[in-house]
């Protein structure tokens, strides 16, 4: 069916997809904390004193998780969808096309027919297909970290990789970002790259530009998949 093998399913049990459960929402909590840490570097310019804050990474991750819960409560997606007239079938399990107008689900709930079937199953972090790659973690595993890693190698220099690399670097991890292409943010617009200065080796995103000195960036042709 639609689902590739080995897929992470941290968001699978809940509505909201990656963004709410595993992506934008919790990552923005990390990004906000990183910004606060970076802001301390300007303290002296503004006549403020105080050292760089210590980061209790586990506590920060708990805050990110709590924020996800709060967003769920505020959004209450099942109720809103039902109010909008959507027939919601949550927890449907694996689905497959029975024919061009029919989806069958595994859990015995039968088949669902429609004139048009729109597949919105999203994307997910894929594991690299070389020996030992099972040792690596995906962005989905970060929320269970017990502590900030002393060092991190982030593979993939598009939006998610750049953002995670920059926040970890802001907290004090030694971060290396590996990217096969010769520029970061490969799938983003050229305009975005211009905004970032278009410099090779310069990590991306407004929230990350300040952390460039702490992220080593490497291009690698060895990690093509
Ligand atoms: C760490 C991180 C940070 C991010 N930050 C941002 C950001 O700041 N801004 C931004 O715009 N984007 C961000 N993104 C990207 C954003 O999360 C995705 O672009 C967005 O979630 C895609 O939404 P979607 O609905 O297409 O897919 P998904 O969010 O992946 O949702 C797909 C849904 O389909 C369900 N599904 C999968 N397979 C099946 C199946 N066979 N049958 C039934 N249901 C199925 C899944 O359970 C899931 O609920 C970030 C992503 C990550 C990983």
Q: Which atom of ligand 1 is nearest to the CA of 105?
A: 42
Per-residue confidence at 126, pLDDT binned at 50, 70, 90?
confident
* Sequence spans of domains, the chain: 7-113, 149-210
pLDDT at 221 over 60: no
Confidence of residue 121 (pLDDT cuts 50, 70, 90): confident
Report d(CA 63, CA 27) in Å as an integer. Answer: 11
128, pLDDT greater than 90: no
Ligand 1 atom at shortest distance from the alpha carbon of 94: 41
**What's the confidence (pLDDT) of residue 189?**
57
The string of pLDDT tens digits covering residues 16-51 is 999 999 999 999 999 999 999 999 999 999 999 998
80: phi then psi, degrees, rounded to nearest 5:
-65, -40
Q: Classify 149-210 by CATH class.
A: alpha beta
pLDDT exceeds 90 at position 172: yes
Question: Poorest-confidence range of 62-76, 120-134, 184-198?
Answer: 184-198
Distance of alpha carbon 97 from alpha carbon 111, whole angstroms? 9
Pocket of ligand 1 (CB under 6 A): 1-3, 11-12, 17-19, 23-24, 27, 92, 94-95, 120-123, 139, 160
Q: Does the pLDDT value for residue 91 go beyond 90?
A: no
How far apart, in whole angstroms, are the C-alpha atoms of residue 170 and residue 38?
A: 7
Closest ligand 1 atom to residue 15 Cα is: 49
Nearest to 172 by CA among 26, 23, 34, 31: 34
**CATH superfamily of the 7-113 domain:** FAD/NAD(P)-binding domain (3.50.50.60)
Taking 70 as the threshold, does the pLDDT of residue 11 lie above it?
no
**Average pLDDT taken over every residue of the chain:** 82
Q: How many CA atoms lie within 13 A of 95 on its CB side?
A: 21
- Alpha carbons 3 and 225: distance in angstroms, whole number: 19
Q: Do domains 7-113 and 149-210 have the same CATH topology?
A: yes
CA distance 130 to 134: 9
């Amino acid at each position: 069916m639609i689902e590739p093998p080995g897929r992470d399913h941290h968001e699978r049990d809940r509505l909201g997809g990656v963004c709410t459960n595993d992506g934008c929402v919790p990552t923005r909590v990390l990004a906000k904390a990183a910004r606060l840490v970076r802001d301390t570097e300007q303290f002296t310019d503004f006549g403020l004193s105080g050292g760089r804050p210590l980061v209790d990474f586990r506590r920060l991750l708990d805050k990110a998780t709590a924020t996800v819960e709060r967003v769920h409560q505020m959004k209450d997606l099942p109720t809103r969808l039902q109010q909008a007239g959507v027939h919601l079938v949550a927890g449907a399990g694996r689905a497959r096309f029975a024919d061009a107008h029919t989806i069958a689900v595994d859990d015995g709930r039968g088949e669902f027919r429609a004139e048009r079937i729109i597949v919105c199953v999203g994307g997910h972090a894929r594991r690299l297909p070389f020996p030992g790659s099972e040792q690596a973690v995906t962005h989905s595993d970060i929320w269970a970290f017990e502590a900030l890693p002393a060092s991190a190698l982030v593979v993939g220099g598009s939006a998610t990789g750049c953002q995670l690399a920059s926040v970890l670097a802001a907290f004090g991890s030694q971060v290396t970002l590996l990217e096969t292409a010769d520029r970061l943010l490969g799938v983003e617009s050229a305009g975005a790259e211009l905004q970032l200065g278009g410099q090779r080796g310069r990590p991306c995103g407004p929230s990350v530009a300040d952390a460039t000195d702490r992220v080593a960036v490497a291009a690698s042709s060895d990690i093509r998949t």
